[in-house]
Each structure stands twice: as structure tokens, then as C-alpha cells.
């Protein structure tokens, strides 16, 4: 678990480094490609964000099945290789199309979230699952705490640091240094995985899955196969997907809001300040998933913790940027979102792992389907949010830059509603700890 934790942590730091500056980077590329209208320019932020998840949507279910057939370790290493190569390519992008292609290919090669969760399922007992899922969640939180802060600090080194960076090349590539740093972190994580990460599936288990791998292409091309899964698993996957939709709507537009000039209702934040905001979000995630979730899961049903997480997230999303656009209020709102997400992720993963075992399903395949199905909503979320933002950012009354956050909050409430009426008695029984 320690090696897996470090691999995921370093991978997440590298991945989250791009968060503070990606919005500004895409805005610059869009303006350079002739998109001068604010709405049209900002729409590309959602499109580029969605390109990464489009790659994941197309390939993650297949990577999950590959991990069942050939092991978790090689698929994890493949994801790290993909991150390393295409982070460098993204940092060197000089047009929207270059950025789109680099992000798409990075997503296509990285199925590490689903495979890491399957790895934990392989090596954990039912009692160990919540705590271990929480540890992986904590690595995500640490990544969000460290990555965005470093990304914000390393942006535009020609201006921030000067010295050897005070050249025309670094002035023309202000976002390359954080991408390079992230790529080097991903490379170090890959080396760590190659040297120290053992395989979690026995050769016998892997051989048993290879017979079914050839049939997985149908599942890759047609996610309607989810309808053949047990109702309890379908509901968990649907809940996760709708939650992701709400969360990614916020993710696509939050920095668009904070970067707006104060006179227009925003906060006027730069890359570094946004990096600090997301570092705080990561800190809250670490506290919740690294410590609280284990203690809470001993006292409360895992399903109840998942529902509370959804409710807190819905409240936080709908509160951006209310009641007033001040830094203190933003921290309160982001606390709700981070704490809600911190409760939801490990709880939902624990429930899905348990239900997969109860019904005798291949864990890697189920996790792959969830990530692939959720990937569809990761595509829809940023694009939908960007479209709403572009149509309302200059509006008035009910149709303003507030609108996209209201919609995100309502979507999260729908995820809550999916779990009512209450689960059947049989499902409830599976949600208690021994």
C-alpha cells in the first residue's frame, strides 16, 4: 500500500500541476487563434478539459479489462508513461489543436484511477476497504494540495524568477516549466512503480481473465451493457456519474470566475492565487480522506457517508459565488465541496467494491466500466458548463455567471435523489461493516 500510495501521490501532483494555469493557457491560445469574444474564448476551456476525459472515456474501460487479464502493474506504468510524454507536448502547444491533441492522448493512455482502486480491491479485506480507499483518496488530496500550488508558482518563470529564465523563449512559453516539472514527477513515479510496485493479481487469476478479453471491445463501444449489471451496482455507477457531472461543471468554470476582474463580479485572481485555493481544497481532502473517513466509517453506514458527501457538495456548488465574492466566503464554499467530495469518493468506491464481490463480478472490469461511464459525464460536464458560461457571463437577472454554479448544485441534488427511495434490505445489509 505504501508504494501504491506514493505512485498515485506523485502521479496526482503531476496531474494537478496544470489546474491553476490551464484556463489562462487556453484563453491565450484561443485569443491567438482569433477567438476574441469572451464567451467564444472561454468556451474552449471546457472543450480542452473535455478532450482529456474523452480519451479516458474511450480507453479506460478497455484498460480495466486489460488489467484483469495481464495485471494492474503494467497498466499503471502505461498511464505514467502517457502522462510524462503528453505533459511535455501540452506545455509546448502553440495552438488550440495542439493542446487538444496532447490532452486527448494523455487521457487515452491513463486509466490509473480505476486500476488503482481495483488494485486495492485485490489486496484488501472488506474491513480494510474504507480505510484503504480513504488512503488513496488522501493521495488525491495531497496531490491537489501540492500540485496546484507548485503549478501556480512555476507559471511564467521569465517574470517570476528571472535569471536563467529571463529569455525570449521562456517569455514565449510561460506555461512550459510547470508542465516539464509535472512530466519529471510522472517519470519518477513510473520508475518507482517499475522497481517497487508488486503485481496484485496472481498469474492464475490473470490467465482466467484472458479468455474474456476479446469480448470486451463490445463493452467499450456500447456502454449500454451496464444494464446487464445488478441494480445495486447500476445505481452506484449512475450516482458516481451524476456526481462527476456536477463536480466537473464547477471545475471547468471556477477559475473563469475567480479570474474575472473585480469590477465584473469576479475576484481578479492570477495563476498563483488560484493555486493556493486548490491547495486548500487538497488540504481539506487530506484531512477528510486521510483520517476522518476511517473513523466515521466505524460509526456510520458507508452509504450514509456517501449521501452526506453528496449533500455537502451540492450545497457548496450552489453557493458559488454567494453570498458575497470575498476570499473568506470562497474558502467556506470550497470547504463544503472538498469535504463532500472527500466523503463521497471512498464511500462510493467501498460500496461498489463490496457489491462487485457479492455478485461475483471482475473488480477491474467493474471499475473500468464505472470510470468509462463516468468519463462520459466528465466530457459532458466541462462542455456543458462552458456553454452555459459563454451564454450567460455577460447576462443579467437570472442569467449571469452565477447560473452555471446553480445548475451544478441542482445536478448534485439529482445524484442525491437517485438514492431514494431507500435501498432494499438486501442492499442495506451489504452497506454495513462487519
* Record: fold of 2-195+229-431: Growth Hormone; Chain: A; (1.20.1250)
pLDDT bracket for residue 221 (50, 70, 90): very low
pLDDT bracket for residue 278 (50, 70, 90): confident
Cβ(89)–Cβ(104) under 8 Å? no
pLDDT bracket for residue 432 (50, 70, 90): very low
pLDDT (mean) for 201-219: 59
User: According to the model, what pLDDT value does residue 317 have?
Assistant: 95
Report CA Rg, the chain: 21
User: According to the model, what pLDDT value does residue 12 have?
Assistant: 78
The answer to whether the Cα torsion of 387, 413, 315, 339 is positive or negative is: negative
- CA-closest candidate to residue 199, choices 88, 62, 70: 70
Question: Is the model's pLDDT at 85 over the cut of 90?
Answer: yes
How many Å is the maximal CA-CA distance in the chain? 67
User: According to the model, what pLDDT value does residue 309 have?
Assistant: 96
Report the mean per-residue pLDDT for the chain.
84
Question: Is the model's pLDDT at 189 over the cut of 90?
Answer: no
% of the chain beyond a pLDDT of 70? 88
pLDDT, tens digit, for every residue of 369-389? 787 787 788 889 999 999 999
User: Which of 36-45, 233-242, 267-276, 283-292 is least confident?
Assistant: 283-292
Can you give the three-state secondary structure of the chain, one letter per residue? CHHHHHHHHHHHHHHHCCHHHHHHHHHHHHHHCCCCCHHHHHHHHHHHHHHHHHHHHHHHHHHHHHHHHHCHHHHHHHHHHHHHHHHHHHHCCCCHHHHHHHHHHHHHCCCHHHHHHHHHHHHCCCCCHHHHHHHHHHHHHHHHHHHHHHHHHHCCHHHHCCHHHCCHHHHHCCCHHHHHHHHHHHHHHHHHHHHHCCCCCCHHHHHHHHHHHCCHHHHHHCHHHHHHCCHHHHHHHHHHHHHHHHHHHHHHHHHHHHCCCHHHCCCCCCHHHHHHHHHHHHHHHHHHHHHHHHHHHHHCCHHHHHHHHHHHHHHHHHCCCCCCCCHHHHHHHHHHHHHHHHHHHHHHHHHHHHHHHHCCCCHHHHHHHHHHHHHHHHHHHHHHHHHHHHHHCCCCCCCCCCHHHHHHHHHHHHHHHCCCCCCCHHHHHHHCCC
Question: Is the model's pLDDT at 72 over the cut of 90?
Answer: no
% of the chain beyond a pLDDT of 90? 36
pLDDT, tens digit, for every residue of 306-322? 999 999 999 999 988 76
User: Which of 63-72, 127-136, 204-213, 309-318 is least confident?
Assistant: 204-213
| Domain-wise residue ranges, the chain | 2-195+229-431
Question: Is the model's pLDDT at 410 over the cut of 90?
Answer: yes
pLDDT (mean) for 50-64: 80
In terms of pLDDT, which residue wins out, 143 or 219? 143
User: Which of 349-353, 415-419, 427-431 is least confident?
Assistant: 427-431
Question: Is the model's pLDDT at 336 over the cut of 70?
Answer: yes
User: According to the model, what pLDDT value does residue 126 have?
Assistant: 73
pLDDT bracket for residue 325 (50, 70, 90): low
pLDDT bracket for residue 139 (50, 70, 90): confident
User: According to the model, what pLDDT value does residue 217 have?
Assistant: 53
Which grid coordinates belong to 98?
A: 495542439
Question: Is the model's pLDDT at 367 over the cut of 80?
Answer: no
pLDDT bracket for residue 142 (50, 70, 90): confident
Which grid coordinates belong to 25?
A: 493557457
User: According to the model, what pLDDT value does residue 6 have?
Assistant: 76
User: According to the model, what pLDDT value does residue 197 have?
Assistant: 84
User: According to the model, what pLDDT value does residue 316 have?
Assistant: 94
Amino acid at each position: 500500500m505504501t508504494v501504491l500510495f506514493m505512485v498515485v501521490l506523485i502521479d496526482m501532483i503531476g496531474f494537478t500541476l496544470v489546474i491553476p494555469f490551464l484556463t489562462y493557457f487556453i484563453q491565450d491560445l484561443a485569443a491567438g487563434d482569433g477567438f476574441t469574444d469572451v464567451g467564444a474564448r472561454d468556451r474552449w476551456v471546457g472543450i480542452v478539459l473535455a478532450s482529456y476525459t474523452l480519451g479516458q472515456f474511450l480507453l479506460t474501460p478497455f484498460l480495466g479489462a486489460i488489467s484483469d487479464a495481464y495485471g494492474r502493474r503494467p497498466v499503471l506504468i502505461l498511464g505514467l508513461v502517457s502522462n510524462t510524454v503528453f505533459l511535455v507536448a501540452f506545455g509546448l502547444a502553440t495552438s488550440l489543436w495542439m493542446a487538444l491533441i496532447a490532452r486527448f492522448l494523455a487521457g487515452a493512455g491513463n486509466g490509473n484511477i480505476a486500476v488503482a482502486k481495483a488494485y486495492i480491491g485485490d489486496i484488501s479485506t472488506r474491513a480494510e476497504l474504507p480505510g484503504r480507499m480513504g488512503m488513496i483518496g488522501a493521495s488525491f488530496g495531497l496531490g491537489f494540495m501540492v500540485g496546484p500550488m507548485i503549478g501556480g508558482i512555476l507559471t511564467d518563470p521569465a517574470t517570476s524568477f528571472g535569471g536563467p529564465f529571463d529569455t525570449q523563449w521562456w517569455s514565449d512559453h510561460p506555461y512550459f516549466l510547470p508542465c516539464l516539472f509535472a512530466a519529471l514527477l510522472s517519470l519518477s513515479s513510473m520508475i518507482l512503480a517499475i522497481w517497487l510496485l508488486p503485481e496484485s493479481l496472481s498469474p492464475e487469476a490473470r490467465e482466467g481473465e484472458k479468455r474474456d478479453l476479446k469480448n470486451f471491445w463490445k463493452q467499450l463501444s456500447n456502454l449500454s451493457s451496464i444494464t446487464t449489471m445488478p441494480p445495486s451496482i447500476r445505481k452506484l455507477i449512475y450516482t458516481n456519474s451524476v456526481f462527476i457531472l456536477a463536480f466537473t461543471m464547477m471545475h471547468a468554470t471556477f477559475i473563469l470566475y475567480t479570474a474575472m476582474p473585480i469590477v465584473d463580479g469576479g475576484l481578479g485572481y492570477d495563476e498563483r492565487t488560484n493555486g493556493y485555493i486548490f491547495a486548500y481544497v487538497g488540504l481539506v481532502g487530506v484531512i477528510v480522506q486521510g483520517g476522518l473517513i476511517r473513523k466515521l466509517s466505524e460509526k456510520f453506514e458507508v452509504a450514509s457517508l456517501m449521501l452526506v458527501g453528496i449533500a455537502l457538495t451540492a450545497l457548496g456548488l450552489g453557493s458559488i459565488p454567494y453570498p458575497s465574492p470575498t476570499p473568506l466566503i470562497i474558502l467556506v464554499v470550497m470547504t463544503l465541496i472538498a469535504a463532500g467530495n472527500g466523503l463521497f469518493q471512498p464511500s462510493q468506491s467501498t460500496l461498489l467494491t463490496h457489491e462487485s464481490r457479492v455478485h461475483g463480478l471482475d473488480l477491474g472490469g467493474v471499475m473500468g466500466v464505472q470510470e468509462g461511464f463516468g468519463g462520459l459525464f466528465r466530457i459532458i460536464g466541462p462542455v456543458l458548463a462552458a456553454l452555459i458560461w459563454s451564454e450567460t457571463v455577460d447576462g443579467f437577472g437570472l442569467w449571469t455567471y452565477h447560473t452555471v454554479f446553480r445548475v451544478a448544485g441542482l445536478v448534485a441534488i439529482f445524484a442525491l435523489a437517485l438514492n431514494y427511495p431507500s435501498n432494499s434490505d438486501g442492499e442495506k445489509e451489504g452497506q454495513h461493516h462487519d
